[in-house]
Amino acid sequence: MANKLNILWNFISHYKYFLVIVVCTLLIGVVGEDSVLKRVKLELQIEDLKKEIKKYEDQHAADSKQLQEIRRNPKAVERIARERYFMKADDEDIFVLSSDEQPVDENQEVVIE
- The phi, psi pair for 37, rounded to 5°, reads -60, -45
The verdict on residue 2 lying in a domain is: no
Q: How many domains does the chain have?
A: 1
Instruction: Note the pLDDT tens digit of each residue in 17-29.
Output: 999 999 888 888 8
How confident is the model over 28-48, as pLDDT tens digits? 888 777 788 888 899 999 999
109 within a domain of the structure (yes/no): no
Kindly state whether residue 26 falls inside one of the protein's structural domains.
yes
Instruction: Give 31's contacts (C-beta < 8 A, 6+ positions apart).
Output: none
pTM of the model: 0.52
Domain presence at residue 103: no
In a domain, residue 66? The reply is yes
Containing domain of residue 16, as a range?
9-85
3-class DSSP assignment, residue 87: coil
